């Protein structure tokens, strides 16, 4: 009988699995520290970067309420915190309302430039971290981490 991380006795990750919450947390902390160092030099906090990235991904104006909900989901924050992030970005003049539809917001030219500059700064760092890892290993890690994230999100939604 095989044992996997979802059905192990006692509910923990099986010994010798090579992946556990501590390893995931250490990797996340190290990656985030590298990102936050880059963000600090641009005058951004992580929460602002998340919002900018969500907006830049589409390249189109986004509904402010939908953006707030997406920020809540990514940051595991409440609505007030998500709305605060958007307010901070407005104050910094990196997002603005769409004139003919005030429920939509878009990146300003400065916001697009800021997002581009940060992406360009972190690109070489990320490339260096992943350079010697086989593509199959990266795909497997991506699938596993996506599954763990989805299950954690389900557990949060149920609590």
6 has pLDDT over 60:
no
Tell me the C-alpha distance between 128 and 144, whole Å: 22
State the pLDDT confidence band at 3, using cuts at 50, 70 and 90: very low
Tell me the C-alpha distance between 83 and 23, whole Å: 32
Return the closest-CA partner of residue 81 out of 41, 109, 48, 44.
48
Mean pLDDT over the full length of the chain: 90
Residues 26-35 have pLDDT tens digits of 999 999 999 9
Q: Pick 18 or 45 by higher pLDDT.
A: 45
Q: Per the confidence metrics, is the pTM higher than 0.95? A: no
Tell me the C-alpha distance between 115 and 109, whole Å: 10
Low-confidence winner among 11-15, 85-89, 90-94, 119-123 (lowest mean pLDDT): 11-15
> Is 20 exposed, middle or buried, given 0-12, 13-18 or 19+ CB atoms closer than 10 A?
middle
> Is 133 exposed, middle or buried, given 0-12, 13-18 or 19+ CB atoms closer than 10 A?
exposed
Mean pLDDT of all residues in 12-39: 86
User: What domains lie within the chain, and their CATH numbers?
Assistant: 42-121 (1.10.10.10)
pLDDT of residue 159: 74
- Residue 158 token pair: 């149920």
pLDDT of residue 37: 95
């Amino acid at each position: 009988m095989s044992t996997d991380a979802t059905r192990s006795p006692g509910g923990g990750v099986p010994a010798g699995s090579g992946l556990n919450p501590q390893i995931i947390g250490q990797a996340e902390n190290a990656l985030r520290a590298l990102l936050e160092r880059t963000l600090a030099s641009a005058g951004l906090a992580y929460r602002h970067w998340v919002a900018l990235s969500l907006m830049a991904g589409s390249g189109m104006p986004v509904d402010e309420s939908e953006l707030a909900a997406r920020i809540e989901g990514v940051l595991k924050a409440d609505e007030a915190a998500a709305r605060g992030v958007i307010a901070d970005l407005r104050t910094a003049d990196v997002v603005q309302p769409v004139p003919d539809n005030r429920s939509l917001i878009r990146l300003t030219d400065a916001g697009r430039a800021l997002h581009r500059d940060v992406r360009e700064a972190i690109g070489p760092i990320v490339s260096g971290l992943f350079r010697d890892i086989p593509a199959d290993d990266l795909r497997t890690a991506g699938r596993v981490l996506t599954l763990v994230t989805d299950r954690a999100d389900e557990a949060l939604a149920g609590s």
